[in-house]
């Protein structure tokens, strides 16, 4: 092992942290996708955005790991000139993949919140938040890609670059601005929920997002010491670790609202996930009676509200309703009405009533 685990190097700390965070990220995304597919039998736009975020996050972690293999985490005096070029190229690639990963994780959460918003006015707010995120990502990506003069755009140590310290401050602060805008969007949706107790539960789903802001603020405290150090291959490691933490938290907290307990709670309180629930209902409605298990092929059931849809000749009663519970019971009284004028006996017609328990 040589000097790999001595106190004068940070490469084990960077490597272990990077891969541990990546494992947490992968499990979070897989849990989210598995839950959505199990409940709805399909993946929609916000799920695809999350998959894209995970792909770029994996790429970022691999790039950091390759940089560590080239000597990142060691003192600058212990790294050869050829290895320095490799480290800068890999850190350069990791920084671009980091921005893309954050972009898609933010968009995934924004799209998910938008699908809970019934009002066109509130949807415009969501579009505005998306525009802010797109603008941030465009400026951050191309600014980072061309912060140094071509062809050595990766050479932030010996190349001709603009003020990289100010640029990293801008990236961090603008990232916080996008997170605040997402909070505002979620708050607008929360205000339509009644009563206050349900609002607090809904707020609790998105409160963990504040950890992204807190971690970014802490990262800003290390920015100056890392960027202005003459021993950057050693002192920039904390910035790289915080990049990994921010990336992981951004993905995990975007997956958090879509785990089964929260999806079940939202559906039980009338918060419908547009598109996905409509699509599943359409598939259920079009399926033959033998597949739905219904003995009444002329009745249509909404599987998401778990309540039958009324017809003009039906009266529906429900009792002891518990959402997502096998103990839920529904009593359906089906009434065939014959208009009085259609019955020659004048007794108002016959009525047959069947009760299903």
Cβ neighbours around 124 below 10 Å, total: 11
Is residue 283 in some structural domain?
no
Q: What is the pLDDT of residue 38?
A: 81
Q: How far is CA 155 from CA 84, 144, 161, 345, in A?
A: 9, 12, 8, 96
Pairing of strands 329-335, 301-302: unpaired
Q: Which helix (H) or strand (E) holds 252?
A: helix 237-255
**Interval 97-148: pLDDT, tens:** 999 999 999 999 998 888 876 666 677 888 899 999 999 999 999 999 999 9
Verify that 229 and 331 share a domain, yes or no.
no
Q: Which helix (H) or strand (E) holds 317?
A: strand 314-319
At which residue do the structure tokens 């016959």 appear?
Answer: 350
Q: What is the pLDDT of residue 82?
A: 85
Cβ neighbours around 29 below 10 Å, total: 23
Verify that 317 and 243 share a domain, yes or no.
no
Q: Is the pLDDT of residue 199 over 90?
A: no
Verify that 199 and 346 share a domain, yes or no.
no
CA 309 to CA 38: how far, in whole Å? Answer: 24
Overall domain count for the chain: 2
Verify that 54 and 115 share a domain, yes or no.
yes
Q: What is the pLDDT of residue 94?
A: 96
Query: Can you tell me the mean pLDDT for 183-202?
Result: 79
CA 88 to CA 158: how far, in whole Å? Answer: 10
Verify that 184 and 317 share a domain, yes or no.
no
Is residue 91 in some structural domain?
yes
Is residue 205 in some structural domain?
yes
Domain boundary among 268, 298, 321: 268
Verify that 255 and 319 share a domain, yes or no.
no
Domain boundary among 212, 242, 268: 268
Verify that 245 and 336 share a domain, yes or no.
no
Q: For residue 197, what are the domain limits?
A: 11-268
Verify that 157 and 264 share a domain, yes or no.
yes
């Amino acid at each position: 092992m040589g000097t790999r685990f001595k106190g004068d190097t940070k490469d084990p700390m960077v490597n272990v942290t990077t891969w541990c965070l990546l494992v947490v990220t992968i499990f979070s995304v897989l849990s989210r996708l598995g839950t959505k597919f199990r409940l709805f039998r399909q993946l929609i736009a916000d799920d695809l955005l999350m998959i894209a975020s995970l792909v770029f996050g994996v790429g970022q972690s691999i790039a950091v790991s390759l940089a560590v293999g080239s000597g990142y985490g060691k003192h600058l005096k212990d790294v050869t000139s050829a290895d320095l070029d490799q480290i800068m190229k890999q850190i350069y690639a990791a920084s671009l993949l980091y921005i893309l990963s954050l972009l898609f994780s933010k968009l995934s959460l924004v799209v998910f919140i938008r699908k809970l918003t019934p009002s066109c006015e509130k949807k415009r707010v969501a579009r505005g938040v998306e525009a802010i995120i797109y603008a941030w990502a465009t400026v951050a990506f191309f600014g980072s890609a061309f912060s140094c003069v071509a062809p050595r755009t990766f050479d932030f140590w010996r190349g001709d670059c603009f003020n990289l310290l100010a640029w990293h401050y801008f990236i961090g602060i603008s990232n916080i601005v996008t997170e605040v805008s997402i909070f505002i969007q979620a708050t607008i949706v929360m205000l339509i929920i009644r009563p206050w107790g349900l609002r607090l539960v809904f707020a609790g789903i998105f409160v963990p997002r504040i950890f992204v802001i807190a971690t970014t603020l802490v990262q800003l405290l290390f920015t100056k010491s890392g960027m202005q150090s003459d021993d950057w291959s050693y002192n920039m490691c904390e910035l790289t670790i915080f990049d990994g933490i921010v990336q992981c938290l951004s993905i995990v907290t975007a997956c958090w609202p879509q785990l089964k307990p929260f999806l079940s709670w939202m559906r039980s309180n009338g918060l419908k996930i547009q598109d996905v629930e409509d699509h599943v209902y359409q598939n259920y409605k079009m399926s033959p009676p033998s597949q739905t298990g219904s003995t009444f092929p002329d009745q249509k059931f909404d599987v998401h509200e778990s309540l039958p849809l009324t017809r003009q000749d039906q009266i529906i009663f429900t009792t002891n309703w518990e959402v997502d519970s096998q103990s839920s019971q529904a009593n359906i009284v089906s009434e065939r009405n014959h208009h009085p004028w259609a019955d020659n006996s004048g007794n108002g017609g016959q009525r047959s009533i069947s009760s299903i328990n």
